[in-house]
Amino acid sequence: MAIQNIFSHLIELTSNVTNAYTAVLYSANRKEETFSLREHFSLNPNLILKTKVPFTLGPINRAIKSKIPMVIDHFDPEADELNIFNTTENLKSFLIVPVIHDALEGLLIMATKDAYSFSPKLQKIVAGLAEQIAWHLFQENPFPGEGNRACPSIRTMNTYLRFLSESPDPATIARRLIEIPPSILICDAVAVIWFNSNGLGAVQEHRGFSEDPSLYTVVQGAGIIGACAQSLTPVISTAFDNNLMTLFSDQEKAEFFKSVAAVPIQKNNRLLGVLTCASLTPDGLSQAELDTLSMIASGAAASPLFTEKKSVPGNDKNRDPITGIYNHRFLIHRQHAISEKIFDGDLPVYFLTVQLTNLPSLYETHGVQLGDSLLRGLVSLFSRRIPSPKNIFKYSDNSFLLMILKRRREEVDSLESELKNIFDNKPLSVNGTSLRIQTEWGLASYPDEGNNLLDLISLSWARTSQQLKVTT
């Protein structure tokens, strides 16, 4: 037989189990960050039936953050903030229980005259009853927007996942991941973080953040993204007040997001990266979005690009150990294959070399870890700023080679000026430290100045020191 008022029944049951003098159930309005009275059971007619209670109220706020039952005694100054009765009562203890089903659904507050504390056993029993209450609240009144959220169609999801799997390289996968179609998932910010074999992460692509996170090194266990990477499990976090959440690094300038979801991109229990999205509203992301994000991350990890292969002797020598991109040795060994790929008749190819002239002193002053973070951040910066098709190489200890394809000379000159301004006008922030980067630039072009790959690269590099003007 169905119970006509399930909440009244559960509140009365909770009161009987705990021998509580008063039990009050509030339902949550996460958009307004307030609680509204739903049901109560009290032996005192002087109970204050507050219409709204803010999330930010001292003990309530702490219970919400911890997501576990919290006991406060009558002598705790915070007990007065609850302000339950119109008259003075000989109360001894309060129990505050967050009512959670995937997200916060309500709050349960109990007061007793019989004991100075609710025992752990009673807290566990009440937590079980709170789970039942949370389920019924969720079924009755899902938070605004959730009931209308349509799951992406199988066809739409399959099309997008196929689009991801056909990406030619990890950089393209990252770009496509931050462009999740609104028909699949809506959020205010997205970021893709790739992790290297040493467990350090670098932001490959991002959108929607007020600060540029690409120069932060993400460490496993630090921040929401680091916690996701360390546990290899999806994470969803919601801020119920004005507290700021740490996403990438303890040194970051925290963003004003209210909800954040992060899922690992992994293959055979091997961490590849983390996909994270954030919303400016507490109800912007839920378990549904987390599930969708997990599906997308699984699709990205299934790309043939991440198929584990036997290591090829000497292959590691062709990559820069800090940034993971191809180096000068790779250019020498693969010059003919590269030339055949990028030289196509009269279509121009530009070779832009960037020398970091003060890189040795930065390493000496700030240490190896910060210097390495700078180099990884610069790769991410170049990858985002330079339009495709392009190739990025670590040409020497303190220089990068940027190959820019299928662009007009005016576009390349504008891009070079834009990059110079980034370095010249303000310091770059790396893990919270401001670094002033001194640079020199050199440009060479195919076919105007030749058709030999290594000669063009050498010409570009030489011009960084000679500061020669290239005539068009």
Query: DSSP string covering 153-210, please?
Result: PHHHHHHHHHHHHT-SSHHHHHHHHTT--TTT---SEEEEEEE-TTSEEEEEEEES-S
Tell me, what DSSP letter sits at residue 255? Answer: B
Task: Output the pLDDT for position 101.
Answer: 76
For the chain, how far is it from start to end, CA to CA, in angstroms?
86
Cis peptide before 282 (omega within 30 of 0): no
User: Which strands form 399-405's sheet, in the order they lie side by side?
Assistant: 390-396, 399-405, 349-356, 439-446
Q: Which two tokens stand for residue 64?
A: 């919400």
Which has the closest alpha carbon to 225: 196, 258, 192, 254?
192
Per-residue pLDDT of the chain (472 residues; tens, 9 = 90+): 344 577 777 888 877 887 777 888 888 877 777 787 788 777 766 676 666 777 777 777 777 777 778 787 766 666 666 767 666 666 777 888 888 876 788 888 888 777 667 778 888 888 888 888 888 877 765 444 444 455 667 888 888 888 888 888 888 899 899 988 888 888 889 999 998 877 788 888 888 887 778 777 788 878 889 889 888 889 888 775 556 678 887 667 767 788 899 999 998 888 999 999 998 887 778 888 888 899 999 988 888 777 654 333 344 678 888 887 889 988 998 899 899 889 988 899 999 999 999 999 999 999 888 888 899 889 888 887 888 888 899 999 999 999 999 899 999 999 999 999 988 887 888 877 889 999 999 999 999 999 999 999 999 999 987 654 443 3
Which has the closest alpha carbon to 213: 437, 428, 436, 439?
428
Task: Output the pLDDT for position 309.
Answer: 46
**142, amino acid identity:** P
Q: Which two tokens stand for residue 51?
A: 């219409």
What the chain holds in terms of domains, given with CATH numbers, is: 6-140 (3.30.450.40), 154-306 (3.30.450.40), 316-466 (3.30.70.270)
Tell me, what DSSP letter sits at residue 321? Answer: T
CA distance 89 to 258: 38
Task: Output the pLDDT for position 1.
Answer: 33
Task: Output the pLDDT for position 46.
Answer: 66
Q: Which two tokens stand for residue 158?
A: 């399959």
CA distance 328 to 395: 5
DSSP three-state, residue 57: coil
Cis peptide before 213 (omega within 30 of 0): no
DSSP three-state, residue 438: coil
Query: Rounded to 5 degrees, what angle do the CA atoms 31, 35, 40 make?
Result: 150
The long-range contacts involving 62-66, CB below 8 angstroms and separated by at least 24 positions, are 63/96, 63/97, 63/98, 63/107, 64/98, 64/104, 64/107, 64/240, 65/240, 65/243, 66/98
Q: Which residues pair with 236 in a beta bridge?
A: 261
Buried b or exposed e, range 235-259, using 16+ CB within 10 angstroms? bbbbbbeeeebbbbbeebeebebbb
Query: Rounded to 5 degrees, what angle do the CA atoms 214, 220, 223 make?
Result: 70
Task: Output the pLDDT for position 280.
Answer: 84
Q: Would you say how long the chain is, in residues?
A: 472
Task: Output the pLDDT for position 262.
Answer: 93
Tell me which residue has tokens 């980034």: 422
The long-range contacts involving 136-140, CB below 8 angstroms and separated by at least 24 positions, are 136/6, 136/7, 136/10, 137/27, 137/38, 137/99, 137/101, 137/105, 137/106, 138/101, 138/102, 138/105
- For residue 421, count other CB atoms closer than 10 A to its CB: 10
Tell me, what DSSP letter sits at residue 47? Answer: B
- For residue 330, count other CB atoms closer than 10 A to its CB: 18
